[in-house]
Amino acid sequence: MHPAHIDALARDLATASLTSEGIRALVGAGAEAALARAVAAPARRAALRSPGARSTLLRALVLGDAVPADELADALPSLGVDGAVALGIVALDGDAARPLVAIRPCAFRDALGEGEWWIASDLDELAGVAPLRPDHVLGIGGAARTLAALLPPADAPVGAALDLGTGCGVIALHLRRFADRVVATDVSERALRFAALNARLNGVDGIETRLGSLFEPVAGERFDLIASNPPFVITPREPGVPAFEYRDGGRTGDALMGEVVAGLAEHLTARGEARLLGNWESIAGADGLDRAGAWASDGLDVWAIERESLDPVRYAELWLRDGGTLPRDADFPRLAGAWLDDFEARGVTAIGMGWIAARASGGGRPPLRRLERVGQAVALEHVGAHLRSALDDAAWLAGIDDDALRETVLVAPPDVTEARHQLPGAAGPNVIELRQGGGLGRSLPVDTALAALVGASDGELPVGTLLAAIAGLLEVDEAVLAADLLPRVRELVLTGFLHRRRD
Ligand SMILES: C[S@@+](CC[C@H](N)C(=O)[O-])C[C@H]1O[C@@H](n2cnc3c(N)ncnc32)[C@H](O)[C@@H]1O
């Protein structure tokens, strides 16, 4: 890949405005939205009606359609068709140029705001490719968008960051927005070529690609931030079951996830953090979330959040569909059988899917092991900041006793509201609920005393003073009230319903 060719391609994409906005203007909002659902026909129809450089590039690079070579030449005045062939993005079939990769504009939002990249990846379902090749390199999907949202806010300098299993390099691009340098690893040389292409295409330097499995390419190195959307999909290790490199790490069950989590502590700097996506199995009565927590070694605070749990049948169906095998296909029963045999043989009863946030704990106290099921809708834009402050607060809470907590001034953030429910005609509420708009979108039933404490936490008076006032108002013993409320206040701080006042 000649850098000059990549730079010429970037110029041509920009000149043609092959951007999300440009595509919307060309094909309309409905057809553009359909692209995200892998439905190409409406955009193709609209593009064919409006010939021009953007239309040609949309059909070739976004939809994966063969286009006349002379049209492509007009659409790529800097790169030219020969340059596109040399770059490996098209092949010539007579007078037609056949795309070999997809290059799509991808709008994003992360801790530093909004932006857009062009992301090159293998042709996929949107381009009518099914089943995918075993070494398929993914473009930006929902998982990558989620992981990007889990990254901590960019409020402190990050020296070195690691993207483990980089694929097309999208997470490395996010990391480089706030890290001085990024190492992006993968077992796939093809993936690393895409990652390098995407970095150059988007004018991003400081991303070093390294070939190798898991932490091998970074042996002995430490990072301030590690992010990974690893190949966590549990796949039966049986001959004849297709394995896709982008999702399957070649281990039995969830062993690869265990290796990634176990390797974090020795690759994080003293205040280093990690964000992972993952799957974990409940095996023979042992809860999968507990197993996920147990993967971490000492020296690491871990917060594992299970977003969904699937039974083996639904899990097998999900990943068979993802690989392009539908229930109506002849191979479905054999493949589903292989998945179910594997789960049965190993006693797997459920598979949890979720997020892991971790941080070097520095020793001197027991590491945090917080294991939660969070099934409600969560606004992703709040999650990265919440996980950071929750891990900070967990470390702070672990270091203070109840006397120190009484001295602390807390603040209920403005996204916290209270809902009161009462039976028609009742004198007072039967249920009081606190809700948060940010954080993990939690709602929490509380009693009058705790609601009063949260309501009065406006950053003025310490917890102890509020406790005394509430005990007086409710005419209850202050020590009894404190013993009841202080553990719950700790939980409210951890979950973001209350914050420490930062002077
Ligand atoms: C789910 S994809 C994630 C790609 C990209 N980071 C994203 O979020 O879209 C997982 C990536 O891990 C790579 N991979 C598979 N086995 C690996 C291993 N043992 N060590 C490192 N990377 C691996 C795959 O080639 C693939 O690119």
In this structure, are residues 116 and 107 in contact, taking their beta carbons and an 8 Å threshold? yes
Boundary-marking domain end, from 99, 121, 136: 99
Q: Is the CB of 235 under 6 A from ligand 1?
A: no
What's the pLDDT tens digit per position in 148-180?
A: 999 998 888 899 999 999 999 999 999 999 999
Residues 115 and 82 grouped into a single domain = no
Judgement on whether residues 77 and 136 belong to the same structural domain of the protein = no
From 370, 348, 235, 367, select the one nearest 287 (Cα to Cα): 348
Cβ–ligand 1 distance for 246 under 6 Å, the answer: yes
Q: What is the pLDDT of residue 77?
A: 98
The reply to whether 409 and 385 lie within a common domain is no
Of the candidates 371, 392, 413, which is a domain's last residue? 392
Same structural domain for residues 176 and 58?
A: no
* Residue at 302 is within a domain: yes
- 30's enclosing H/E stretch is helix 29-36
At 138 the pLDDT is 93
**What percent of the chain is predicted at pLDDT more than 90?**
88
- What is the residue type of 254? D
Give yes or no for a contact between 12 and 79, defined as CB atoms under 8 angstroms apart: yes
pLDDT of residue 394: 92
> Same domain, yes or no, for 342 and 359?
yes
Report if residue 127 sits inside a domain: yes
Mean pLDDT for 17-41 is: 97
Q: Are residues 91 and 223 in the same domain?
A: no
The pLDDT value recorded for residue 154 is 83
Looking at the fold, whether 203 and 95 belong to one and the same domain comes out as no
Q: Measured between alpha carbons, how far is 65 from 63 in angstroms, rounded to an integer? A: 6
Using most ligand atoms within 8 A of CB, pick from 188, 190, 234, 257 the residue to mutate for ligand 1: 188
Which domain CATH number covers 426? 3.30.390
Confidence of residue 427 (pLDDT cuts 50, 70, 90): confident
Residue where a domain terminates, one of 67, 99, 131: 99
Whether the per-residue pLDDT at 294 is higher than 90: the answer is yes
CB of 124 closer than 8 Å to CB of 139:
yes
Same domain, residue pair 347 and 414: no
pLDDT at res. 45: 98
214 CA to middle of ligand 1, Å? 9
Q: With respect to residue 397, please indicate whether it lies within any of the assigned structural domains.
A: no
Q: Is the pLDDT of residue 1 over 90?
A: no
Shared domain check, 191 and 289: yes
Would you state the pLDDT for residue 165?
98
Total structural domains in the chain? Answer: 3
242 falls in which pLDDT band (50, 70, 90)?
confident
Please tell me the predicted confidence (pLDDT) of residue 156.
81
Q: 78 pLDDT band (50/70/90 cuts)?
A: very high
Same domain assignment for residues 410 and 437 = yes
Banded pLDDT at 462 (limits 50, 70, 90): very high
Structural domain contains residue 326: yes
Closest atom of ligand 1 relative to the 213 alpha carbon: 20
pLDDT confidence band for 364 (50 / 70 / 90): confident
| Res. 428: pLDDT tops 90 | no
Asked if residue 284 belongs to a domain, the reply is: yes
Cα 305–110–382 angle (5° rounding)? Answer: 45
So what's the pLDDT on residue 324? Answer: 85
Domain at 317, CATH number: 3.40.50.150
Read off the tokens for 469. 């006032």
Rounded to the nearest angstrom, the distance between the alpha carbon of 324 and the centre of ligand 1 is 19
DSSP string, 215-253: TGGGTT--EEEEEE---B------TTS---TTTB-SSST
Task: Dump strand ranges (E) for 38-178.
Answer: 67-68, 90-93, 96-99, 101-110, 113-122, 158-164
Task: Find the domain containing 426 and state its range.
Answer: 402-500
Quote the CA–CA distance of 486 and 498 in Å, as a whole number.
12
Alpha-carbon distance of 396 to 394, in angstroms, equals 5
Two tokens, residue 234: 């549990």
Report the distance separating Cα 126 and Cα 139, nearest Å.
Answer: 11
**Is it the case that residue 502 has pLDDT exceeding 80?**
no
Q: Is residue 354 part of a domain?
A: yes
Pair (322, 175) in one structural domain: yes
Q: Give me the phi and psi of 281, to 5 degrees please.
A: -100, 140
**Residue 378 placed within a domain:** yes
Give the mutation target among 166, 174, 176 for probing the ligand 1 site: most ligand atoms within 8 A of CB: 166
**Is residue 142 situated within a structural domain?**
yes
Residue written as token pair 């005393």: 449
Distance CA 497, CA 503 (A): 19
The answer to whether residues 112 and 240 belong to one domain is: yes
What pTM does this model have? 0.95
| Mean of pLDDT values over 334-344 | 97
Single out the residue of 130, 185, 143, 137 nearest to residue 160, CA to CA. 185
Rounded to the nearest angstrom, the distance between the alpha carbon of 258 and the centre of ligand 1 is 15
Helix (H) / strand (E) containing 471:
helix 463-474
